């Protein structure tokens, strides 16, 4: 085998990679040492801005295989036939901490999927919880600021966390999820994934349905107690990354079964609560789970930076047969996610291998910008319409239209008959076992008891009382006991 020769970025061979060029033995380094300057300059630029949220993540390649016929509900090609497989890339993440944060912490987990379909890339960007803390995107920056490191102390402050929740009663359902047993997954393999938002499916006849995605782990749900998590963080802060990497390397490929809940579009307006409110679930008794297929992860990334850090997901990457719903949080994410990637990675992030379509061709009039690699031929024009056989519109909408009416303004979400910020949180509490309830109370009281303002504590206690009288009483007693110690 011939010896590989080290080169500069421009391809010139490097004569010495151990010693910098100097003015004589022991003299100062010369500015003309192009190889040294290039190495240092590149090193300074090896990192891109980390994600504001979901910064700490892991990923893997795999495939999605259809197991059940859902063509009555969607014309999406990658779901068109039982047995059809589509290449997929998955990224899992914590939400609040920075890139250097630990994996085994109490936090929601991102569950992001990119399907490389024949009709373009489809991104499904969800979490390991079926609900979220807020229902309007205008509150999202404030919510994240309350959960991130305080600008003065440089650490997460319970005062900030619980003060925001005190003024956001719709968070009670998600707080009950995150503070419960599933708040710290044992690994990324042992947690479910959810689309969380409501999406629209449209079939070949143009009929519209609203859907919710549920990826059920085939490894079984396993979680850590607060004590187990603290011990694990001390041993391996990268525990979930280590687990995912080693499992796939051993050939123990994690998998999830996808189910969906399907609501005919006509039923949405009269449903007893707002079906587009991401702080609520649809009871399975109303809309049972219907199996769709299986997600399997079977290959680790060759380079974490190139394939995980630069992976760019956006929930507005739809394909024919799938579209958005009036979910306000989803509507905000349709802009925010793509814009974050343009800032972090650049306007041409979609041309990177992990983000580029693999089974379809990107053919449009986007040109130039930093790091552009797709520019076409000399005959190609960069405007439309044109007389030079450039790409033209399909005239086929990806999803069905949604009727809208009324006056513009900053409206609250429409109220349905049973809309309530607390009922589903209480339902969740009441289905827990006694041991699960005890751990939930302990987790909540551990943080809430550290809050310095009595009025903030009282506002939060009122939310738990509203969800369930026993729930509120037990949290109140536990907080009081901790504050009296």
First to last CA, the chain: 71
Q: Closest by alpha carbon to 304, among 39, 85, 99, 63?
A: 99
Distance CA 251, CA 442 (A): 38
Catalytic residue among 35, 61, 127, 160: 127
Residue 58 host element (H or E): strand 57-66
Beta carbons within 10 angstroms of residue 390's beta carbon: 17
Residue 197 known to be catalytic: no
Distance CA 485, CA 481 (A): 7
> What single-letter DSSP state applies at residue 2?
P
In a 3-state reduction of DSSP, which class is residue 354?
coil
Distance CA 381, CA 341 (A): 26
The answer to whether 441 and 481 have CB atoms below 8 angstroms apart is: no
> What single-letter DSSP state applies at residue 4?
P
Reading the block at residue 355, the tokens are 């983000």
> What single-letter DSSP state applies at residue 74?
-
Q: Closest by alpha carbon to 164, among 179, 178, 175?
A: 175
Residue 127 known to be catalytic: yes
Beta carbons within 10 angstroms of residue 421's beta carbon: 19
Q: In DSSP terms, which residues pair with 58 in a beta bridge?
A: 92
Distance CA 361, CA 63 (A): 20
All residues at 6 or more sequence positions from 137 whose CB lies less than 8 Å from its CB, including other chains: 328, 329, 331, 332, 333, 336
Reading the block at residue 215, the tokens are 């990826």
Catalytic residue among 35, 54, 173, 349: 54
Distance CA 347, CA 5 (A): 34
> What single-letter DSSP state applies at residue 281?
P
**Would you name the residues annotated as active-site residues?**
54, 127
């Amino acid at each position: 085998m011939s010896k590989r020769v080290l080169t500069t970025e421009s391809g010139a061979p490097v004569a010495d990679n151990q010693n910098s060029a100097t003015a004589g033995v022991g003299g100062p380094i010369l500015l003309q040492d192009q190889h040294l300057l290039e190495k240092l300059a590149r090193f300074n630029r090896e990192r891109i801005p980390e994600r504001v949220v979901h910064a700490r993540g892991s990923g893997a390649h795999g495939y999605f295989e259809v197991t059940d016929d859902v063509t009555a509900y969607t014309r999406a090609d990658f779901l068109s036939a039982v047995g059809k497989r589509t290449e997929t890339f998955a990224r899992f993440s914590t939400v609040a901490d920075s890139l250097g944060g630990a994996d085994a912490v109490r936090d929601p987990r991102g569950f992001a999927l990119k399907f490389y379909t024949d009709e373009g890339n489809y991104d499904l960007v969800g979490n390991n919880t079926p609900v979220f803390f807020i229902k309007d995107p205008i509150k999202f920056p404030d919510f994240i600021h309350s959960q991130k490191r305080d600008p003065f102390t440089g650490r997460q402050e319970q005062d900030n966390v619980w003060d925001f929740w005190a003024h956001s009663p719709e968070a009670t359902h998600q707080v009950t999820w995150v503070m419960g047993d599933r708040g710290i997954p044992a690994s990324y393999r042992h947690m479910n994934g959810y689309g969380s938002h409501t999406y629209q499916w449209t079939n070949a006849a143009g009929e519209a349905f609203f859907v919710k995605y549920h990826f059920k782990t085939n490894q079984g749900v396993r979680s850590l107690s607060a004590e187990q998590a603290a011990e694990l963080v001390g041993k391996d802060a990268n525990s979930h990354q280590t687990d995912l990497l080693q499992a796939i390397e051993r050939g123990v490929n994690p998998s999830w079964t996808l189910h969906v809940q399907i609501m005919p579009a006509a039923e949405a307006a009269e449903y007893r609560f707002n079906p587009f409110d991401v702080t609520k679930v649809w009871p399975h008794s109303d809309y049972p789970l219907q199996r769709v297929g299986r997600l399997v992860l079977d290959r680790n990334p060759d380079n974490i930076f190139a394939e995980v850090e630069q992976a760019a997901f956006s929930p507005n990457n739809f394909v024919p047969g799938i579209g958005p719903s009036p979910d306000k949080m989803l509507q905000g994410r349709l802009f925010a996610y793509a814009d974050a990637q343009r800032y972090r990675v650049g306007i041409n992030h979609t041309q990177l291998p992990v983000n580029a379509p693999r089974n379809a061709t990107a053919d449009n009039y986007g040109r130039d910008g930093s790091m552009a690699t797709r520019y076409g031929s000399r005959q190609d024009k960069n405007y439309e319409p044109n007389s030079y056989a450039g790409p033209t519109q399909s005239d086929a909408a990806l999803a069905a239209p949604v009727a809208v009416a009324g006056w513009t303004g900053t409206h609250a979400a429409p109220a349905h008959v049973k809309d309530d910020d607390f009922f589903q949180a209480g339902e969740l509490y009441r289905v827990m076992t006694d041991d699960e309830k005890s751990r939930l109370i302990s987790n909540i009281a551990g943080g809430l008891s550290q809050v310095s303002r009595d009025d903030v504590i009282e506002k939060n206690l009122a939310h738990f009382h509203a969800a369930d009288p026993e729930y509120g009483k037990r949290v109140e007693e536990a907080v009081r006991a901790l504050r009296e110690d």
